[in-house]
Structure 1
Amino acid sequence: MGAVLFSKLQVTDVSKLFEAVGASADWGAVAQYTRQAIRSTHAAATLSTLYVKNLAVLDGVLEPQMFLAGDRLSTADLVCHVALSAVFASFDDEHKWALCNVSRWFDMVQHMVLELEPPSALGCDLIPFNYEAPEILPVVSSLRPLVGAAGPTGADGAAAAVPAPPPTASAPVDAPTEKAQKKEKKEKPKKEKPTAPPVAAEAGQSDISKLDIRVGLIISVECHPDAEKLFVEKVDVGEEAPRTVVSGLVEYMPAEALLNRRAVLLCNLKPANMRGVTSQAMVLAASKEDGESRTVELLSPPDGVPVGERVLFEGHPGEPLAPNVIAKKKVFEAVAPLLATNQDRVAVYDGVPFMTTGGPCTVATLAGGNIK
């Protein structure tokens, strides 16, 4: 079930998941279980292949039964319904029909959930389903990845599958003609246009505003091939391609706790070679020591904040500087001692919150921790 939710379960007593739901539901428990669930349809569409892989297993489980626990609605059904809402909002009809047992279960549960009056914060809006079955049901192996919000969309606003480009007729490739060869010799190589100079620091600009801190989504996690204490992650930070990030988190959390997790990253550090792998950003985490033990927790942006959004600090305007300037001026080294979590578990710089359009960035439990 953890693979389906793509999150680390937050409730220690897992048996609570399978308690029957009567006239009311424990929405607090549901909110705890789904605290790290993906809420963005765009992010869900980007990760559609991973969801399909795990939902195919659940599809087989649900073939002979109505609910996850058998013949009765349980907290597990509510948790998975909330966690998968963005996924089904991103799925097109082909994906829904290929996973017909999961789709049947989800549609049935979503109508039952409305009768239980869930909090609006959980986002339990009805997802449309097309009940006209195709003559031939699609199979999971035929599904293509979905595009994000910037790509084409289906009739219900969900991201559509990427169509294959139509084949184009092309002339046979012959050897270059004599005329073409002469033309090629005459052509001089084009000069590259000079790139724009990096943004210069504004007069009086504070060090924290020189850093490019963004919301990211960790889309893959692997163990470093040559360092047992390092993870190698691919992270979507709102650019054309994901960045490779090396982090020393192996001792503090499993890979499953990172995969498909939204995080906060420092993106304008100079790329660094970490035991043969180039790291292009840094995942920010809070830590706190208690005797010989050390606890580490990733900074979490609020739900719904777009991937790639820059984290800002009130009273500290300014554009981020180029990585080489950050390294030369040792900007992060100057900022690091003032990065912490306050008593409300909010990430702060010298008391000023890490702020997004959806609110401040936080950690799960560590108050008074150091951030780096």
Structure 2
Amino acid sequence: MSAILRLPESTAKDVSLVYQFVKAQNVAKVESATELSLEVSGDVVEGAVTIAKYFAAKNQPELLGSSKTEQVEVEEWLSWVIALKALEKKQVVATLKKLDAHLSTRTFVALNRLTIADLLIFANVHKFSKEIKVTTMPNVLRWFDLIQNVAVKNNNIKDFDLIEINLKDVPEPVFAAPVAKKDKKAAAAGDKAAKSDEKAPKADAKAAKADEKAPKAEEKGDKKDKKDKKEKKEKKIAAAPVESDQAPVSRLDIRVGFIHSCKKHPDADSLYVEEIDLGDGAGVHRTVVSGLVRWVPIEEMQNRWVICLANLKPASMRGIKSEAMVLCATANDGSKVELLAPVDTSKVQPGDRVFFEGMEGEPEKILPPKKKYWEAVQPDFKTEDDTLAYFQGKPFLIKTASGETVKCKVLLFRVVESNKLIYFTNNDNNNNNNNNNK
């Protein structure tokens, strides 16, 4: 090992986070120092972002982006990190409000999956976390909580205390009623007419008296118009959807699937393209793109039962539209990824739904991206020593045609540690959903 990371104890926590997350112990040994630097074969590398990129490139290059387009996007946010590190406390809080607006329609900062930008921004925002209020920056807090669970908690990262975050009291957004262009013109015309009325001759008084003697048909017509408008308004109000108390996890359409074929993506070495039967009809198969090449041999992806999320908005992944996501489990240290499947495949069929006892409900046809249902439940998806999948201690249960319930387990092709975090493997099709690039 020819590299030495000289790491100050109280500062450079962002570098420490990346170093631990990518398991860079095999890349460089750590020494305590007063100033941050990395010595590689006699050459000295300086700058937190540059050093962090070095470790990512060595052990998890996908954190830097898998294509030139992605790399450019990540680099832009790394420049943002450098600027953030130079700001004072008040300036940081103001800058985070802009980040909150950016995250209102995204799960991660740069791409549709975790990148080094998320790790570095999280590390630099962590010390300001108490200044972030749920009423003003709910999107930043939601993202912050996701990163601290996915990156810190589940990888046993040191130096970062877990922050308790309550997103239940987020106020509903208040939108001002938009003023149409025609209304603005009408208002302007009304103001102009009012001014001209002040200068109008007194002959208008005679016209007013004549109007008093006019038939009252117009008045009746006005009343009828007002009544019609009121009725239409009441109908619109009555038709407005009411937010229910349905459990967020029940809004996910998690189904049993059967992979009929799997091949390599023609334009991405890390992706598989599967044809999966999800019970949509006889002979109907969905195309699903999954980042599993690194983890599961292609022969183990053929004619295989899996568990999928079926109601994400379809999205293009390197030119191929992916219509669902395969659920997997990963070891705590990120060293292994395994597929989930029914415990007893003889009793299930494609399309059978997964449910959680006491949390049943009708799933959304398509998960609305802004609701962030997946992000809300994902940290509580686990597997235990029995290799079964759970949500908040409740097992994944499959409703079968016979009325029996079947549980879900990790497919143990190889030795896998217990207490894994379940996550999506279809990384770029997130709806802005939370994904890890494995």
**Is TM-score (shorter-chain normalized) higher than 0.5?**
no
Higher strand share: 2
> What's the TM-score once normalised by structure 2's chain length?
0.38
Q: What is the TM-score with the length of structure 1 in the denominator?
A: 0.44
Structure (1 or 2) with the greater helix fraction? 2
Rg (Cα) greater in structure: 2
